Amino acid sequence: MQPSPRFPVNSDRLTRELAHLAAISEAEPPIVTRVVFSQADLRARAYVQQLCAEAGLTLRHDAVGNTFARWQGTHPHLAPVATGSHIDAIPNAGAYDGTVGVLGALEAIRALQLSGFQPARPIELVLFTSEEPTRFGIGCLGSRLMGGVLSPDQASALRDPDDRSLDSLRAAAGFSGPLETVRLAPGHFHAFVELHIEQGKTLERDRLDIGVVTAIAAPASLWVTVHGEGGHAGAMLMPDRHDALAAAAELILALEGAALATTAIDSVATVGLCEVFPGAVNSVPSRVRFSMDVRDTDATRRDRILEEFDVAARHVATARSVRITQETVNADPPALCDPAIVAAVESSAIEAGLKSQRMVSRAYHDSLFVARIAPVAMIFIPCRNGVSHRPDEYASPESIAAGVQTLAATLWKLSA
Ligand code: HGY
Ligand code: MN
Ligand code: MN
């Protein structure tokens, strides 16, 4: 195949569009909070769809709100080449996580159009519903359903913190139909390529332009509840206590210790949420519920962290006479990117004169679940100090343009 050309990426326009999207937030800019099915999410979806329509793409939604914007190819019956990411954002987040892979993909398509290229295969931009776990407690809801990793019944059982069901919220957002229809068969996509900020420090530290992702780490998330005994903060004497929060504190440090004990740099564990009951200054906590997010590129190593945690939990339960229960939300295997798609990404970066290196993704992405039904690869671009999931998240227009050029060239190769 001949080397891919340079495509006319309009970086100024893309920068303006990313800034416009970032301002659609439930929080004061520059903070981006855009939880799935919130008013901000719906306004953001409308904005992206308007841009896709202006680019002549035809739009459709599935029953959970995954949105497909198609550029028809000269052979419409062929399986499309897909790209895309998410625009929902966790509370107190930044402007680039996910959005670079949606608006950057749109810009890649517009640059291909402007170059006069006519794809044989259709090219589809996919905006996935609820990549973040914020509302329903599980990440990648839309791509899990698409990839058959989450069943429609499991999805229908999901409730948000206000006890609202997925079905009621998706209907209110205008998405209807049986969730069974979200599932796509293997082979539905010819390939899927996701552009995303690295959310780590490697590319910036090593002065690289492009990360060619070869594997996506295996995420697991769980809830742990400690049942102790409450009482008066003044009158309950220390020997008589079964303090649920003190027990949880020991468990949280045990989890951190288990992740460090593997000595592998890819082993990570996080407690991001902790609910204390009754939550009064002068009352001994009787019940604590906290989240655990445990990941590793090696699923066996990840599971060893969880096993170590279980040993510690048994010890704490006995030593403190508390009861500890766990609920697993998800424990997914890692995904390997497809060698042919990885090669297409890598050659596209090289042909554009960009410095690239192969790497793993420690964050999870919709690609992790699309990989169940299609060959996937990801394109990473550097973000400042590796910061993400914070308002100071930042990727430069030059880095984003390099990512868009690489994506456009990859789509050009795969859809010809
Ligand atoms: O948590 C993640 O890895 C992703 O950013 N939702
Ligand atoms: Mn994220
Ligand atoms: Mn993301």
CATH label of the domain that carries residue 62 = 3.40.630.10
Question: Which candidate, 308, 326, 310, 330, places its Cα nearest to that of 227?
Answer: 326
Q: Does the Cβ of 332 fall within 6 Å of ligand 1?
A: no
Pocket probe mutation, ligand 1, options 97, 364, 367, max atoms within 8 Å of Cβ: 364
Q: Are residues 241 and 326 in the same domain?
A: yes
Is 117 a domain residue? yes
Residue 6 lies in a domain: no
- Specify the pLDDT at position 328: 97
**Cβ neighbours of 161 (radius 10 Å):** 9
Pick from 35, 85, 88, 131 the residue to mutate for probing ligand 1's pocket: most ligand atoms within 8 Å of its CB. 131
Domain match, 297 and 173 both: no
Q: Which residues contact 151 (CB under 8 A, 6 or more apart)?
A: none
Task: Please indicate, yes or no, if residue 4 is contained in any of the structural domains.
Answer: no
- Cβ of residue 366 lying under 6 Å from some atom of ligand 1: no
Asked whether residue 277 is domain-assigned, the answer is yes
Nearest to 213 by CA among 325, 293, 101, 305: 101
- For residue 197, which ligand has an atom nearest its CA? 3
* Same domain assignment for residues 269 and 339: no
8 A C-beta contact, residue 151 and residue 166: no
- Euclidean distance between CA atoms 24 and 5, whole angstroms: 35
* Whole-prediction pTM: 0.94
85 and 184 belong to one structural domain: yes
Distance separating the N- and C-terminal Cα atoms of the chain: 10
pLDDT by residue for the chain (416 residues), tens only, comes to 789 999 999 999 999 999 999 999 999 999 999 999 999 999 999 999 999 999 999 999 999 999 999 999 999 999 999 999 999 999 999 999 999 999 999 999 999 999 999 999 999 999 999 999 999 999 999 999 999 999 999 999 999 999 999 999 999 999 999 999 999 999 999 999 999 999 999 999 999 999 999 999 999 999 999 999 999 999 999 999 999 999 999 999 999 999 999 999 999 999 999 999 999 999 999 999 999 999 999 999 999 999 999 999 999 999 999 999 999 999 999 999 999 999 999 999 999 999 999 999 999 999 999 999 999 999 999 999 999 999 999 999 999 999 999 999 999 999 99
Whether residue 3 is contained in a domain is answered as no
Residue 56 neighbours by CB under 8 Å, 6+ apart? 71, 113
Q: 393: which 2 tokens? A: 């998240």
Domain closes at, from 301, 331, 361: 331
| pLDDT on residue 2 | 85
Q: Are residues 209 and 237 in the same domain?
A: no
- Enumerate residues 6+ apart whose C-beta is below 8 A from 4: 347, 348, 351, 352, 409, 410, 412, 413
Cβ of 364 closer than 6 Å to ligand 1, yes or no, is yes
Q: CB of 141 within 8 A of CB of 129? A: yes
Measuring CA to CA, how many Å separate 347 from each of 101, 177, 223, 332, 376?
19, 41, 43, 30, 16
**Residue 167: CB within 6 Å of ligand 1?**
no
Where is the domain boundary, 331, 353, 381?
331
The whole domain housing 272 covers 218-331
Do 87 and 201 lie in one domain? The reply is yes
**Closest ligand relative to 132 C-alpha:** 1
List the CATH number of the domain containing 298.
3.30.70.360
111 lies in the same domain as 165? yes
Answer whether residue 189 is part of any domain: yes
- Is there an atom of ligand 1 within 6 Å of 98 CB? no
Query: Are 321 and 179 in a shared domain?
Result: no
Structural domain tally of the chain?
A: 2
Same domain, 15 and 138: yes
Angle, vertex CA 85, rays to CA 62 and CA 57, nearest 5: 60
In a domain, 5, yes or no: no
Residue 259: which H helix or E strand, with range? helix 244-261
Q: Are residues 68 and 181 in the same domain?
A: yes
Instruction: Kindly state if the Cβ of 139 falls inside 6 Å of ligand 1.
Output: yes
Residues 206 and 355 reside in one and the same domain: yes
DSSP-derived 3-state class of residue 409: helix
What is the pLDDT, as a whole number, of residue 1?
A: 73
Alpha carbon of 133 to ligand 2 centroid (Å): 9
Per the domain annotation, does 182 fall within a domain? yes
Q: Which residues are placed with Cβ below 5 angstroms of ligand 2, an ion?
A: 97
- Among residues 303, 331, 359, the one where a domain terminates is 331
Query: Based on the domain organization, do 163 and 204 belong to the same domain?
Result: yes
* Ligand of minimum distance to the alpha carbon of 85: 3
Give yes or no for residue 363 CB within 6 A of ligand 1: yes
- List the one residue out of 223, 208, 213, 206 whose CA is nearest residue 356: 208
